[in-house]
Structure formats: C-alpha cells, structure tokens
Amino acid sequence: MRAQQDLQRRSRSIAPTNIVVLVLGLLAGGGVRTAHAQSAEAEALFNQGDKLMTEGKLAQACDAFEGSNRAEPRAGTLIRLGDCREQNQQLASAWSAYNDALARVKDPRKRELATARIAALAARLSYLTVEVSSDARADGLTISRNGQVVDPALWNRAQPVDGGDYVILARAPGRADWRSTARVATSGAKVRIEVPRLDEPTGLTSPTAQPVATAGAGEAGRSSALLTSRRKLAIGVAGASVVSIVVGGILGNAANGKHDDAFRLCPEPAKPCDDAPQARALIQVAQRRALEANVAFGIAAASAVAAGVLWFTGAPDTESMRVAVVPGASPSETRVVVMGRF
C-alpha cells in the first residue's frame, strides 16, 4: 500500500512538467514548420521572378520579387527587385528597393552593389513636387496622387517618382474638387503641380487644370529630358566618327604622296631602275598608309552607325531597349558588331 501511494505522489509531481514539455515541443514544432513554409514560399516566388525576367516579362517578374520579399524580407531579394525595376524603367522604385536593401544588408559585397546602384540612379531620377501655398490650405484639405493620399509633410517637397502619368486630386469639405494630370518622363524630369485655392461648389464640374511646370519640365526641361545620357554618348561617338574621317583622309593623302614619289623615282616599272630599292620602300610605306586610312574610314563608318543607333534608342520612351555597337578592324577587314536586348 505504501509503495502504491509513493508511486501516485511521484506521478502527480511529474505530470505537470511532462505536460509543459509536451506543449512547448508542439509549439516549437509548429513554429519550425511555419518558418520552413514561409521560406519555401519566398524561394518559389524568387525563382519564379528569375524565370519571368529571363522571358522578358519584367512587370510580372517584379511582382514575384515583391511577393518573395513580403514572405521573407531579405537584402538579396531587394537587390534583385531593384534590378528588375531598373530594367523595367521604374527608376524611383529601383532606387527605393536598393535603399531598403542597404538598410538590411550584412554581406559586404551586397552592400557595395546596393551602394553603387543607388549612386548610379541618383542622377537619373525624375521628381514630382505638389505645391500647396498657405492660401490654398483649406480646412480638411486632402491631396492624393493616383489614389494614394500624399502626406502633408511631403507637400512642397520634390519626391522621386517613376516615369508616367500622375493624377493629382485635391479635396476639402464644402469645396469643389480640383484635379490635374502630370506627365513625368522616365529619367531626369523635374515637374511641379501647383494646387490652387479650392472654390466654393457651384453645381458645375470643376475643369481639369493644367500642370504648372518648372524650368526643368518646360522647354529647357524637355530638352534636358530628351538629351538623355545615351544621346549625349551618341553625340560623342558622332564626333569620333568625324575625327576618324579626317584622319583617314590625311593617311590616304600620305599614301598617294608616297606612291607618287616612288613613281617619280622609277616611272617605268618594266625597266631596270637605279632607285628601285628606294622606290620599293616608298611603295611599302604607301601601302601601310593606305591600310591605316581604310581602318580609319571603317571606324568612322562604324562610329556613325553606333551614333545613329544610340541616338534613336536613347529617346526617353525607348530606354528599355539596350543596344551596344562595337566597331572593329583588322588588316583585312573592318566590321561592326551590334548587340542588343529589346
């Protein structure tokens, strides 16, 4: 009887501990399964994004990387998202993704990559400013951009935005709505929209206002936006083409001069000539100069083609096309290699 009572006491004293251990074990096991499921979902979306990028479906690929980052935020995913956005000509979104990656990254190589991409994109960003004067600040005024409310702290501040159309809507209780559309170039634009004082409602639909543009979005701004970095490079390549033509002309004239000097020394090639060695040397020099002239003209032609391709593909709306034109030359030929991704 005493042994049975001791066994019961031990059972009562051990049972609660066993229950706690069992519950913790189940919770821990459930947590591990959740973490694995989340990681698998993130990896699947990441791989899907890679596949879509390879197929050139950039918009869908970026959405997949966004989903992967929501499932499991990682610096590497954010860098890949930034690359996707950049290739899709969403420069502000790419810049933001790289900044988010930099805030999370631990790997020095990834940190260096994110820092470099942020610096490279900074000069290419487009900005939109929603200007609200003190006179226009009606009670309860709200301003939205493409349906998203703009925080009053961001009024009168230039904000980096992707290229595209932005609908600015201003509302206030007891006032007529005001709406305007701003078109922002993909790169290098500075556009501002001035929100006026909202009128009392008159029963008529308020007209769509025209955006007020700064110098950056006016004639000078449009010229600056049209003169993209690729078009600036095209101008430089065209200049190189002109220089190559001049050099080719000089070398060609030199070749003709050497040939004429050799002919004067030995005017009749069929007859023996005392100055034949000197004439042969002049002929060899003439041949080298002629070859150099041909190479120069070949480079000039290749540069001209490259300048044309860079100019036409450098338009703001066609920056998604990536083309490289590589001139080349050899003693027997000149050539142009065109490589591109569209």
- The confidence score (pLDDT) of residue 84 equals 95
| Choice among 226-230, 274-278, 303-307 with the minimum mean pLDDT | 226-230
Select 126-213's CATH number: 2.102.10.10, 2.60.40.1120, 3.40.190.290, 3.40.50.150: 2.60.40.1120
Distance between CA atoms of 288 and 228, rounded to whole angstroms?
Answer: 40
pLDDT band at 225 (very low <50, low <70, confident <90, very high): low
Of 100-104, 206-210, 256-260, which has the strongest mean pLDDT?
A: 100-104
Q: Which pTM does this prediction carry?
A: 0.50
Tell me, what amino acid is at 172?
Answer: A
Q: Where are the alpha helices (DSSP H) in the chain?
A: 2-54, 58-71, 75-87, 91-104, 108-122, 219-226, 229-265, 276-313
CATH number of the domain located at residue range(s) 2-122 in this protein: 1.25.40.10
326, pLDDT greater than 50: no
Are the beta carbons of 167 and 179 closer than 8 angstroms? yes
* Domains 2-122 and 126-213 are alike in CATH topology: no
- 């041909």: which residue's tokens? 294
Average pLDDT value for residue range 215-233: 56
Is the model more confident about 43 or about 19? 43
Q: Indicate if the alpha-carbon torsion angle 56, 59, 63, 65 is positive or negative.
A: positive
Residue ranges covered by each domain of the chain: 2-122, 126-213, 229-341
Phi, psi of 88 (to 5 degrees): -85, 10
Is the model more confident about 313 or about 332? 313
- pLDDT tens digits, one per residue of 28-84: 343 333 334 458 888 999 999 999 999 999 999 999 999 999 999 899 999 999 999
Distance between CA atoms of 14 and 19, rounded to whole angstroms?
Answer: 9
CA 164 from centroid of its chain's CA atoms: 15
